[in-house]
Amino acid sequence: MEKLIEILEELQPDVDFNTVENLIDGRYLDSLTILSLVAEIEEEFDVEIPTVEIIPSNFNSAKSIWALIEKLKEQ
């Protein structure tokens, strides 16, 4: 999870990713940032995020993103 927070902070340094739970709904992350984030996650964690998984509920918080990574690693 620590590496995920580092990636998020590189993309949006002004957001507290440990507490914010509305990254998409609160417009902290826009579509271009999400595309960059998906690419970074896929490279760093050696997973492939299917298009159907790129939905707000999977990206609204660092915790939900981490849960998605964990789920994809198990597959």
Domain hosting residue 39, numbered range: 2-74
Side-chain-side CA neighbours of 69 within 13 Å: the count stands at: 22
Q: Considering its fold, how many domains does the chain have in total? A: 1
Task: Using alpha carbons, select from 57, 56, 63, 54 the residue that is nearest to residue 20.
Answer: 63
Predicted TM-score (pTM) of this structure: 0.95
Looking up residue 21, the CATH number of its domain turns out to be 1.10.1200.10
- Confidence grade of residue 70 (pLDDT, cut at 50, 70, 90): very high
pLDDT (tens digit, 9 = 90+) per residue, 26-58?
999 999 999 999 999 999 999 999 999 999 999
